[in-house]
């Protein structure tokens, strides 16, 4: 499993897809975007903080496990930190695999796990 | 449901994501890529043909149904026709919704339906 984890305090630019083999049949990219309404309150954005060394370790563990479980080949994770305005992405996640089902399952599980125990926090400021 | 369906005989260029409202929280992009091995035979590519008028009608029906079912806001579909070399995309599909689960379900269902009854054929040449 190729794993690339990045944190940035700049707007996320989706990287060019990288296909590590000629057996890649599916690439899925997910963009998590800041929405205006949260609990009936209109936001202008959210502020994200991460404890990066631990976030990297936990993410890497999850990605290794999920890559083995679903048979995926490479994952790229980018999380924006600091102020993220409404309509901009706080999260980018891409995964490549031989078949589409594996990549979609990986993605769904990876985002669930991200919310579970990865030290990244958002707050309304 | 905003629906955009395109066929092209050129390499697919993923369009810039278009967010139709400030309540979009998830955007998912799928790239279906031609793999080298099919039934133990190494290919150099596949040749795709579509009966476009009917393909558009059937796709639009599916997208309307799935958009209502899963609560998605916009979908963009691009299929390449003609010769597609290994490692290049034959299909691009993007969907945006308020929450990630809806977009991932839409995508999985849409690709299943695409294989079911949309008049797009591939052949080894």
Task: Count up the domains in chain A and report the number.
Answer: 1
What is the pTM (predicted TM-score) of this model? 0.97
Residue A33 forms beta bridges with which residues? A89
Asked if B101 lies within 8 A of A87 by C-beta distance, the reply is no
Interface contacts (A, B; CB < 8 Å): 81
Gap from B113 CA to chain A (nearest CA, Å): 14
What ipTM did this prediction achieve?
A: 0.97
- pLDDT, one tens digit per residue, over B13-25 is 999 999 999 999 9
The predicted-structure confidence for A78-108, as pLDDT tens digits, reads as follows: 999 999 999 999 999 999 999 999 999 999 9
Q: Is B13 on the interface with A (CB under 8 A)?
A: no
Q: Are the beta carbons of A98 and B30 separated by less than 8 Å?
A: no
Q: How distant is the Cα of B43 from the closest Cα of chain A, in angstroms?
A: 10
Secondary element (H or E) of residue B49 = strand B45-50
Across the interface, whether the CB atoms of A108 and B104 are under 8 A apart is answered: yes
For residue B107, the chain A residue with the least C-alpha distance is A104
Sign of CA dihedral A82, A87, A88, A94: positive
Coil, strand or helix at A70: helix
Q: Give me the CATH number covering residue A34.
A: 3.90.1170.40
d(CA A22, CA A15): 19
Does the pLDDT value for residue B125 go beyond 90?
A: no
HEC string of A39-69? CCEECCEEEEEECHHHHHHHHHHHHHHHHHH
With 0-12 CB in 10 A as exposed, 13-18 as middle and 19+ as buried, what is A124?
A: exposed
Domain extent at residue A92: 2-123
| Best CA proximity match to A56, nearest among A79, A33, A73 | A79
Contacts of B108 in chain A (CB under 8 A): 100-101, 104
Contact A83, A45 (CB under 8 A): yes
Q: Does the pLDDT at position A17 exceed 90?
A: yes
């Amino acid at each position: 499993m190729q794993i690339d984890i990045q944190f940035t305090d700049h707007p996320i630019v989706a990287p060019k897809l990288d296909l590590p083999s000629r057996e890649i049949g599916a690439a899925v990219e997910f963009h998590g975007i800041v929405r205006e309404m949260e609990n009936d309150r209109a936001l202008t954005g959210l502020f994200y903080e991460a404890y990066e060394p631990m976030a990297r370790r936990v993410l890497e563990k999850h990605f290794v496990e999920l890559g083995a479980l679903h048979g995926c080949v490479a994952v790229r994770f980018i999380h924006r930190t600091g102020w993220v305005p409404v309509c901009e992405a706080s999260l980018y996640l891409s995964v490549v695999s031989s078949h589409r089902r594996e990549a979609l399952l990986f993605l769904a599980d990876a985002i669930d796990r991200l919310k579970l125990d990865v030290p990244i926090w958002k707050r309304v400021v």
